[in-house]
Amino acid sequence: MDKIKQYHVTESVNGNWSYHLSKLGVSSISICGANTMMCSLRISQWGYRGHLNEKYCEKCWDLAHVNEVSGNIDR
């Protein structure tokens, strides 16, 4: 899972506690195309659900893993 290190967690600008993956150095758009902003969540915390009922973009997760296998990083 080395290529997953090429991403960081960002938060959707459309709602609280809705997280996406963005390429390192990019915070305004996720790899699925959603508008995002910086957040303090670490990639190692991806998927954690607490009392805030956090949501994580399945499309970003799938894209990151497809890119990991194929070596194709589009965004």
pLDDT tens per residue across span 47-62: 999 999 999 999 999 9
d(CA 41, CA 48): 10
**pLDDT of the residue at 71:** 45
Neighbour tally for 45: CB within 10 Å: 12
In this prediction the pTM is 0.82
Q: What is the pLDDT of residues 8-61, one digit of tens each?
A: 999 999 978 999 999 999 999 999 999 999 999 998 898 999 999 999 999 999
Residue 7: C-alpha distances to residues 14, 50, 51, 62, 66 (Å): 20, 23, 25, 13, 13
Whether the Cβ atoms of residue 58 and residue 44 lie closer than 8 Å to each other: no
